[in-house]
Structures are given as C-alpha cells and as structure tokens.
Amino acid sequence: MSEITNLVLSIADNKQLLGLRYAEWATRAPSLEADIAAAAMGLDDLGHSRVLYGCLEPLGDDPRGPDREADPASLCALPYFDEPWVSWGQFVAANAVLDTAFSVMIEACVNGSIEVLQHRLRKMLAEERYHFLHGRSWLRSGIEKGPLDEAWREAIEWFGPPDGDTAALHNKGALSMGPAELRARLEERLETSAPKVAADWKGWDPRRRRTRPGAIDERTFGMLRGLEEKRFAPASAQKQA
Amino acid sequence: MTEGGVQYKRVTGDAVEYEVYARKTRGEPLHQVGSVVAPDDDLAAAYARATYDEERWIEMAIVRKDHVIELWAPGEP
C-alpha cells in the first residue's frame, strides 16, 4: 500500500465513522437546531467518505481487502470512534478538533501535487466550513477537559510522527504540510494551543494511524455492512437474501 | 443540559432569533425562508445551512431579528 492511499483510506474511514457518530446524536443534542446540524454534518461526512473511497482507484492502489467484511480492526479509524459517544462533550470535541484535523489534512492534499486530490477534495473544504463554525462555537461555550484532551491527542497522533509517512509525503510535495505544520494549522484555526501530548510513537500503527489497539463496536460494524438493516427487512426480502 | 458538572446553556436564555434569507437565481430577490435560534452568529450560520440547505440556493444570508428596523407593522398606518 502506498503512503498516499493509506492516508486517503484513513481520512475516508475516519469520516465514515465520524458521520455515523454524528448521526447517533441527531435526536440527543441540546436543541432541535443542534439535532438537525448533527444529522446534516453526519450526511456530509458520509458523503465525503464516499468521495475519498472513490479516489483510491485513480490513485492506482485500492488497499481494501475482504477482511473489511469480517474484521472491525481492518478499518483505519481512530480510537475516539471505537464506541458510541456518551456525552455531548465528546461530540463537541470531535466536531471541533477531529473534524477540523481531517479538514486541515484535506487542505494539505488540495494544496499538494496530486491532481485527483486537488480536484475532488476542494468542495469538501467549503462544506466543512459549517462544521467548523458549529464546533468552534460549542467549544467556546466550554466542555469538560477529558474528551477535549483525548481528541487533541488523537489528532496529533493521526498527523503522524515527525519522520513518518506524512513527513515523507510533504517532502515529496504530495502534501503541502507535514506533521508540525498540520498541528500548527489546527491550533491556528481553533485559536488555541494543543495540550501537552507525549505521543508514544513506538506503539504507533502506521496503517491505522493510531497508538492504541482496539476496533469499533460490533453493532456499528454490523451497521456498516448493512446487517442492522437486514434485521428490519420483511421476511420475504430475507428469504431472497 | 448538564453533563459532568458542565452546564450547556446555549439554547434558551442567551439565544436569539435569526431570520434566514435565500434565493435560487440572480434574477430574484432574497426572500425569507425561515428562522433559527442560536446564541451567536457562527452557530446561527451553521444551523441555517443545516436546516434550509435542501434546495439549490445560489445565495443564503442570515440577519439577527433584533437588527431589523421595522418601519411599520400590520394594522399600523
């Protein structure tokens, strides 16, 4: 798997999981407007993930194998999405920090040298503007420290180690920013400094871009494969399947 | 809404109403398509886009309702 397809697959998987987790809050947010925003942002990110998956083939190397139907750990998503969120603070931290971290990486792709990414990902940045406004506004209202620190830690780990693939892609010109620039850009956009994070690069998995083992819960994995929908299908449809 | 000692108060007391305006073509004027309630301009923009984005608008704008200067109202001369 090439460095760039690994990165694009990671952005796609993370956006797919982010979209699903957003959607889970479409009836649980603190106001009707926030419910609707959660649903709309969920749809946006699921759509973005489809565009990103569609970039893998033109990049010449689709790394998705049959294990993605059987093994939840085959997905390249962050630990933050492994379990459904139980607090609004987790939603806001993901919305403000992780969603913006993905946007900053997309910005680096759009301003990099790979044509298919330059063209196909640009529109996402316009749509992500509203995710950013939503996340930053709620962040300013104050949330608990735990999820915020965790989101920052995972964002910085996701950008990659100083001498890893992101740095190599930056050196080649494929990305307009390396790990240090990505972190600085994220801090600039959120108008805040990242908490002190001592990343454990020895335990970093370059394929999944995370330091912790684990995987998404079985129900979410079933939903991704359409198994949850089958549970509610009429008996006649189940026989045909 | 309170979670873990954090009070989320973005919805009721300090929220204000924003009118949402949009148009589909350059030839038509902006017209009101609805309203949202939010505590600040950023969140109002995010809510307006999420709530009223179902059509192919070429322009959308929001205005704080209390910034609208009323000249006259129904029933007034």
Interface check B43 vs A, CB under 8 A: yes
For residue A133, give how far its alpha carbon lies from the nearest alpha carbon of chain B (Å): 5
Q: Residues with Cβ < 8 Å from A190, sequence gap 6 or more?
A: A96, A97, A100, A136, A139
Residue in B2, B43, B52, B58 to test binding to A, most A beta-carbons within 10 Å: B43
Dihedral, B9, A142, A131, A58 alpha carbons, nearest 10: -150
**A31-41 pLDDT per residue, tens:** 899 999 999 99
Residue in A32, A86, A130, A145 to test binding to B, most B beta-carbons within 10 Å: A130
Which CATH number applies to A3-240?
1.20.1260.10
For residue A65, give how far its alpha carbon lies from the nearest alpha carbon of chain B (Å): 35
User: 10 Å Cβ neighbour count for A143?
Assistant: 23
pLDDT of residue B15: 86
B42 in a structural domain: yes
pLDDT of residue A225: 84
**B1-59 pLDDT per residue, tens:** 556 555 554 454 578 999 999 999 999 999 999 999 999 999 999 999 999 988 999 99
Number of A to B CB contacts under 8 A, please give it: 71
Question: Least CB-CB distance to B49: which of A31, A130, A138?
Answer: A130
B72 in a structural domain: no
The CA distances from residue A99 to A58, A155, A220, in Å, are 25, 9, 19
B38 in a structural domain: yes
Tell me the pLDDT of chain A averaged across its residues: 93
The model's confidence at residue A241, banded by pLDDT at 50, 70 and 90, is low
Say how far apart CA A224 and CA A26 lie, in whole Å: 18
pLDDT of residue A240: 60
User: Would you call A144 and B3 a contact, using CB atoms and an 8 Å cutoff?
Assistant: yes
**A70-97 pLDDT per residue, tens:** 999 999 999 999 999 999 999 999 999 9
Say how far apart CA B7 and CA B1 lie, in whole Å: 6
Task: Give me A109's structure tokens.
Answer: 């792709």
The model's confidence at residue A4, banded by pLDDT at 50, 70 and 90, is very high
The model's confidence at residue A108, banded by pLDDT at 50, 70 and 90, is very high
Question: Least CB-CB distance to B51: which of A33, A142, A143?
Answer: A33
Measured between beta carbons, the chain B residues lying within 8 angstroms of A143 are: 6
Interface check B58 vs A, CB under 8 A: no
Measured between beta carbons, the chain B residues lying within 8 angstroms of A92 are: none
Q: Which helix (H) or strand (E) holds B7?
A: strand B6-7
B76 in a structural domain: no
The arithmetic mean of pLDDT across residues A24-34, rounded, is: 93
Of the candidates A42, A55, A40, the residue with the CA atom closest to the CA atom of residue A15: A42
Domain count, chain B: 1
ipTM of the predicted structure? 0.82
Q: Taking the alpha carbons of B8, B53, A17, A121 in that order, is the dihedral positive or negative?
A: negative
pTM for the model: 0.89
pLDDT(A29) > 90: yes
Q: Which helix (H) or strand (E) holds B35?
A: strand B31-38
List the CATH number of the domain containing B31.
3.10.20
Residue with tokens 């946007």: A103
Range of the domain at B37: 2-66
User: Any bridge partners for residue B20, and if so which?
Assistant: B34, B62
**A145-183 pLDDT per residue, tens:** 999 999 999 999 999 999 999 999 999 999 999 999 999
B74 in a structural domain: no
